[in-house]
Amino acid sequence: MDKTVLITGAGQRIGAQTARSLHRIGYRIAVHYNTSDTQSNALVASLNAERNDSAFAIQCDLSTATFADDLIAAVNDYWGRLDLLVNNASIYEPSALNIGDVDAWDRIISTNLRAPYLLSIGSIPMLREANGAIINLTDIYAMRPQLGHAVYCASKAGLAGLTKALALDLAPHIRVNGVAPGPIMWAAGDDPDHRLEVMQKTPLGRLGATTDIADAVCYLASAPYVTGQIIEVDGGRSIFI
C-alpha cells in the first residue's frame, strides 16, 4: 500500500496514536508538529524502524501565512501524492469572558478552524487526484458546549459545520468526515470535581483510549460510501441528559 496521510499535531496524544494506527494498516505518515520536536522525531524513528522510509516529520506553525503551502509542498516533494488529510491539531483552553481576550480568540480560531480550512482547500488538487479523504477532529462540545470554554466550543462548532459543508462541495471525488472525541484524556490542570462530574455523565463510566479515536479515523479512511458524517466517540457522554 502506497497511500499517504498528513496528520497535523501528530507528535503526541491522539495525533501520535492516529499515526501509529494508520501506519499499521499501511499508510505512509507525514507527521506535522509545531513545538513537540522530541516526541515527533521519536515517533518517526519508531515508524521507520517498523517499515523503512514510511514516515517523516514536518515542523510548521499553523498560524503563519504560508503554512498550508509549506505542508502540502513538503508532502508533494517527499512522496508526490496525498490520499488522506487528518486535521487533528487543536488548542484547548478556557475563555476569560470578563476581559474579551481577542488574542485568545485569534489563537484558538486560527489553529482549530482557520488552519483546517486552509489546509483542506490547499490539499484539494492532490486529494482529488487520489480520490482521497479529509477527516477533522471535532469535539462533542461542538454541539453541547462546555462551561467556561466559549471560544474553544465555537471553534469546534465551526469545524463541524465546515466538515459537512466541504463534504457537499468536494463530492464525489473527496470524502470529508469528522470524529468527535468525548472524555479520552484529561487536560492538564483539570479540576478533580470536573473530572468526577464528567465520569458521572458518561454512560460507560470510564475514559476512552486514544486508540478508540484512532480506530474511528481508520474506519472513515477506508469507508468509501461515507461522507459528511461526524462520529461521536465518547462513551455515550453526548446522549446524557
Q: Assess whether pLDDT exceeds 80 at residue 157.
A: yes
Name the active-site residue from 117, 141, 152, 225: 152
Parse the chain into domains and list their residue ranges.
Answer: 4-183+210-232
Task: Check if 27 is active-site.
Answer: no
Q: What is the pTM of this model?
A: 0.96
- Domain 4-183+210-232, CATH: 3.40.50.720
Structure confidence at residue 19 as a pLDDT band (50, 70, 90): very high
Per-residue pLDDT reduced to its tens digit, 37-58: 999 999 999 999 999 999 999 9
Residue with cell 458546549: 145
Per-residue pLDDT reduced to its tens digit, 55-111: 999 999 999 999 999 999 999 999 999 999 999 999 999 988 877 788 899 999 999
pLDDT at 55 (0 to 100): 98
Give the DSSP letter string of the chain: ---EEEETT-SSHHHHHHHHHHHHTT-EEEEEESS-HHHHHHHHHHHHHHSTT-EEEEE--TTSTTHHHHHHHHHHHHHS---EEEE---------TTTT-HHHHHHHHIIIIIHHHHHHHHHHHHHHHHT-EEEEE--GGGTSPPTT-HHHHHHHHHHHHHHHHHHHHHTTTSEEEEEEE-SSSPPTT--HHHHHHHHHT-TT-S---HHHHHHHHHHHHT-TT--S-EEEESTTGGG--
pLDDT at 96 (0 to 100): 81
Per-residue pLDDT reduced to its tens digit, 180-224: 999 998 877 778 888 899 999 999 999 999 999 999 999 999 999
Structure confidence at residue 1 as a pLDDT band (50, 70, 90): low
